Structure 1
Amino acid sequence: MSVPTSPRGPAAAGVRAADLRKTYPGRRGAPAVTALDGLSFAVPEGTVFGLLGPNGAGKSTTVKILTTLSRADSGTATVAGLDVAREPDAVRRAVGYVAQKPVTDPMDTGLENLVLAGRLQGLARRDARARADELLERFGLAGAANRLVKTYSGGMARKLDVALGIVHRPQVLFLDEPTTGLDPEARAEMWAEIERMAADERMSVLLTTHYLDEADRLAARVAIVDRGSVVVEGTPSELKDGLRGDTVVVELGSSTSGPSDDGPTGARARLAQVLADVGLVDVVVDGAQARGRAESGSAALPGLLAALDGAGVEVVSATVARPSLDDVYLRYTGRTYGSAGGSQAPAPTTEGVAA
């Protein structure tokens, strides 16, 4: 399910990272921190590619290296066919970068910010103004063009950040956590803009995100990053379809009983064993939730509920659904995405529910 990573392969004009490694010295004598540990992936030209992982997985470090803001300790990378270490100036001209933090001047208007960005990218004044007007209209900001950015809502300000990133029509656009902090409505609007932009501008887009639903919605291909390396790569459908069967999720009650002489750890182990005994695999117990996969979730559910009742475990609800990217993450890392610090997608539409 991986994309060829040869410089002459389909990612030659997109993005290619091969065995990137980056270590930061520890503070005050603490051990060094490994941010990237042999990370490799390839972004085919003209596609949206998602780097999915929890905070601290190495996504932002990767983007900084690919945009020449940092240097890898070892490994190689090309962007738009250019070597990031040997041709940094050319790489900067070929890319757009939308960082996690705002880059606009809040005391200038949206129009002024865009015109300045265009001029800094080498556009003539008239061309910069025309491009600014085009982008303001495209992102639904034309009515706020002459308002100070400090008066913009969070969603409006984030749209302006993205517009700044593409003012010079880059070959490759890097979006680093573009919807963090946005409310659901603003997130949905940003998703729609990213989809339109990728189609209309015909650029390669590297999206880093810790939202499962965002990667599933926007990315043609996804690489799941964990502890500085890619653990699996493919289309969202390929990754989910690679997990046979159904996902069973059990929400536990606060009054769950049963022997607890060996404390919470032992209780979790016994609960996991109950799920395994009725045929579930890839079982994990995380707080008040237990989950696993079964060949047929609906067939496994009655026996599971009976076994939990016999063990004195209070069940608030149980759901059966097709595998999600969270299940993919669990399969390849051994822990749930939420427990690793990632953000969950909205609850899936269930195929069966029991309580």
Structure 2
Amino acid sequence: MARRRERFPVLAGALILVVLVVWLAGGWLASGPLERQLEFDVGEGEGLSALADDLEAGGAVDSATLFKLRARLLGGGTEIKAGSFLLPKGASEATILEILKGDKVIRRLITIPEGMPSVMVAERLMANKDLVGPVSAPADGTVLPDSYDWQKGEPRAAVLKRMQAAMDKTLAELWAKRTARTVAKTPQEALVLASIVEKETGKPEERRMVAGLYSNRLRQRMLLQADPTIIYPITRGKPLGRRIRQSEIQAVNGYNTYTMIGLPIGPITNPGRDSIAAVLDPAETDALFMVADGSGGHVFAATLAEHNANVAKWFALRKARGEM
């Protein structure tokens, strides 16, 4: 009889332990209170305690205290990654922790198109209300056009720094692969010429040809006569919105290639990878002139006589369209 009385507390304790484990596991695996999908942000270095409080405040768990307890006992480690995550409707506590420990971070991208000048890059960063802190327009030619990840609350300056680091890395990689045909003597000269190529053609297949044409002009010490170099000192690369004035064509400054021989003193936009590659491996061509062909591209010529004939055709086409 005494032996049975001794066993009773042991059995009772074991039963309580089983009930406790079932209760903990049940709460860990059961559907949660989320009534709709939730975008949940985890800050850099945020600990489990603060995380649990945020989950309770967001309606993802019923109790921050119980979530912390279950996470420590049943979560298999609580190393949480910074970023934004999507928590599905009715997600269990186990599912929530699994998501927050995983790699399915929401990717937020900011895209810098090829040929976007730095003044507009800064405007795009400042227009993003989920980024913080000021940012000024960097020098043109220092930002690589691409799509970049960012996180809520991240400094704009940090995002810009990644864009500039990407340009430094890309330029170094492409410079190492340059061919003997390039006229660029330095990586900076390559950026300057690439920025002109970027602005002069909207057709990817023309980039190497345009690069070849301007390379020929530079070798022969001809005026480059690139219209975008006239516009740059006026708008810093933004669209002019009107026709170029004769006084602007004749302006003398460090960019206007109608009044100076050689390259401008700096890039006139942020060239993309393909335009940089084009000036480092330009097409083999004898072309010295080009004019629009009416389809968004250009027709090229090696002599002034050929060029004048092409210009006449272009003017005739514009008259037929009612543009002149």
**TM-score (norm: length of structure 1):** 0.23
Return the structure number with greater strand share.
Answer: 1
| TM-score of the aligned structures, taking structure 2 as reference length | 0.24
More relative contact order in 1 or in 2 (CA 8 Å, sep 6+)? 1
Flag the structure with larger Rg. Answer: 2
Structure showing the higher helix proportion among its residues: 2
